[in-house]
Amino acid sequence: MQKISVSSLKLIVRSAALTAMATPCMVLAQPVDDDAWHVSVGMGLISQPKYPGSSDTRMGPMPTFSATKGRFQIGALPGAAVPLGLGYTLLQEGPWRFGVGIGTSLGNPRGGNDGSNLSGLGEIKQTTLGTVSGSYTQGPMTTMANLITDIGGHDQGTRATLDVMFRTRPGRLVWSAGPGITWMNSQYAQTYYGVTAAQSTSSGYSTYQASAGVNAVRLGAGVDYELTREWRLSAKASVSKLQGDAANSPTIDKGTQSSYGVFANYRF
């Protein structure tokens, strides 16, 4: 079994943070009968844990990109924790929206022998992810569900997310906030939070068998301001708390963590 490195964990946390921050984009998605290209590029500054369960934080720049044309989406797949991928809207009818996607995490993760407290736990390889997503919007409330699974064969398993987002739009401002949960299957749990006998020997952690279940609950909030027709400024924040076998893993030293960021995006 592979275990995650600091580099790959950093990418996963970053992806998760960007996904939470991109949630309002799903709510404001272009209609599928719009055949024009809609492209958004930008840059942000984001602060986040070094890895899930870390007591240390990391701050740095983060580029953003998304493009839509009709039923197709390129770039970050909103709500699916996939920072780089290709999505397709199967249905957009009234308040309902369903889609599928394929993508990957960014970068090429290294092994876990980099001097951190995860040294000796091995690596987790970059893989291909498949997603199925759906949302239902009623007035100011949108409920979103996503299923994300490893289709590249690198032991990353399957996870599912459920989020409820409340949105209000006074003038050029868009305020949004809401709770969410993440569920993991046993393969995802053991890869990310478990410790095998071999890993215990090389790392010093006690052996640990992680099982399927809800691994995190969270609360996210954000504000978007349309400075001009092309420019948008955003501020986003989220707080999450690990649950169950994830929270009890010997590799975790802080169960409640926060991420926040500020962004400037240009649409054309």
Q: Domain ranges for the chain, please list them.
A: 6-267
Strands, E assignment, 123-206? 128-138, 141-150, 158-168, 173-184
pLDDT at 29: 54
Q: Is the pLDDT of residue 22 over 60?
A: no
Report the range of poorest mean pLDDT among 43-47, 61-65, 107-111, 125-129. Answer: 107-111
Report the pLDDT averaged over residues 32-58: 85
At residue 105, does pLDDT exceed 80? no
Residues 153, 156: Cα–Cα separation, whole Å: 8
16: helix, strand or coil: helix
83 pLDDT above the threshold of 90: no
Contacts of 185 (CB under 8 A, 6+ apart): 157, 158, 159, 212
pLDDT category, 253, cuts 50, 70, 90?
Answer: confident
CATH number of 6-267: 2.40.160.40
Give residue 4's pLDDT band: very low, low, confident or very high (50, 70, 90): very low
Which region among 75-84, 151-160, 179-188, 236-245 has the lowest average model confidence (pLDDT)? 75-84
Q: Is the pLDDT of residue 13 over 50?
A: no
pLDDT at 89: 94
Tokens of 238: 């989220």
* Contact by Cβ (8 Å): 197, 206: no
How far apart are the C-alpha atoms of 130 and 43, rounded to whole Å?
Answer: 26
pLDDT band at 35 (very low <50, low <70, confident <90, very high): confident
Q: Given pLDDT bands bounded at 50, 70 and 90, which one contains residue 257? A: very high
Determine what percent of the chain is predicted with pLDDT higher than 90: 62
pLDDT band, very low/low/confident/very high, at 156 (cuts 50, 70, 90): confident
For the chain, what is the mean pLDDT? 84
Instruction: Give the residue among 124, 158, 126 at the shortest CA–CA distance from 4.
Output: 124
